Amino acid sequence: MVQFVAKLVTSMILVMKMIVIISEYKVGVVNGVSMNYYAVSCPMAQFVVENTVNRALQADPTLAAALVRMHFHDCFVEGCDGSVLIDSTKDNTAEKDSPANLSLRGYEIIDNAKEELEAHCPGVVSCADILAMAARDAVIFAGGPVYDIPKGRKDGRRSKIEDTINLPSPSLNASELIRMFAQHGFSAQELVALSGAHTLGVARCSSFKSRLGPADPNLDSNFAKTLLKTCSAGDDSEQPFDATRNDFDNVYYNALIRKNGVLTSDQTLYASPRTRGTVSAYALNQAMFFFDFQQAIIKMGLLDLKQGSQGEVRHSCRAIN
């Protein structure tokens, strides 16, 4: 009976939080963005992006992880301004050619959506918005929380390889991650929620092989053998973050409890007392994880937005106008 009451109270709290979030984002324009930003200027924007994403993911479900990761890599460098989409030129090496971004995939999905939108409503829908909507649609496609995002971001005019130093390394510990995320206004709890995006996708051996030398007390010995076997195929060989690489669920957190985290930056979340409780809570309660994740990713999608003359709507997502 006590457990039932506790679960009921938790559910009621989540519902109340949801009502607050919905009311916050329906009040209209915040920082130049709003839920209905394209309602008049390009009413089919969301439909076009969703259809483009769903077609691509039906053909290759692994691209869901790629789109969510691309959105994160965009927002943590110069804000959510589509700068990660820009191609390098002879005079400039762009973000996408940074070692941290060389494994990004899915650019063609953004290009396809942009091309169709330019045919319907030229010069209206920004590449930054397309990427943010695509990441949202990828989460939903993979079975994650259903949520909407404010729109109205402008595209940035800067994309430089040196700016990617702001991306978190897979070797960071919890204290370093907490400090880095705090610089963007995120709490330790929000860090753990956003890290749950690793419920999708894979890591390359080059990003975790450093854990396979001297015995790592935070790495299960049998799982270490699995990782060694993966790395026997070379640095580019891939290891899924959890057992359900294409499903958005809480299996990732349960893996951390078993010391089956692939990256140092994953397993440290359970090893550290500052974040362990949140990992345990999400491992037990997927609904709580889903709610906190959607809250955190909506917040992330509003980082350092370009407004007015600070930005533009690109004609092509790969080049500044």
Active-site amino acid positions: 73
> Is 84 part of any known ligand binding site?
no
SS3 83: helix
SS3 207: helix
**Ramachandran region, residue 126 (left: φ > 0; alpha: ψ -120 to 50; beta: rest):** beta
> Is 74 part of any known ligand binding site?
yes
**Distance between CA atoms of residues 102 and 112, nearest Å:** 20
Separation in Å, CA 73 to CA 11, 36, 135, 283: 32, 25, 12, 25
Separation in Å, CA 251 to CA 32, 34, 195, 279: 37, 33, 12, 11
- Please enumerate in sequence order all residues whose Cβ is within 8 A of that of 117, keeping only pairs 6 or more positions apart, or say none: 42, 45, 48, 49, 124, 125, 130
> Is 83 part of any known ligand binding site?
yes
> Is 27 part of any known ligand binding site?
no
> Is 32 part of any known ligand binding site?
no
Where are any strands of DSSP class E within the chain?
A: 202-204, 238-240
> Is 62 part of any known ligand binding site?
no
> Is 81 part of any known ligand binding site?
yes
Give, rounded to a whole angstrom, the gap between the first and last alpha carbons of the chain.
63
Structure tokens at 161: 């390889």
> Is 145 part of any known ligand binding site?
no
> Is 198 part of any known ligand binding site?
yes
Tell me how crowded residue 35 is: count the other CB atoms within 10 A of its CB.
18
Separation in Å, CA 265 to CA 86, 159, 164, 301, 315: 28, 26, 17, 22, 37
> Is 24 part of any known ligand binding site?
no
SS3 161: helix
**Distance between CA atoms of residues 43 and 191, nearest Å:** 34
> Is 236 part of any known ligand binding site?
no
> Is 77 part of any known ligand binding site?
yes
Structure tokens at 234: 């070379």
Which residues contribute to the annotated binding site?
74, 77, 79, 81, 83, 95, 168, 198-199, 242, 244, 249
Which residues contribute to the annotated binding site for substrate?
168
Which residues contribute to the annotated binding site for Ca(2+)?
74, 77, 79, 81, 83, 95, 199, 242, 244, 249
Which residues contribute to the annotated binding site for heme b?
198
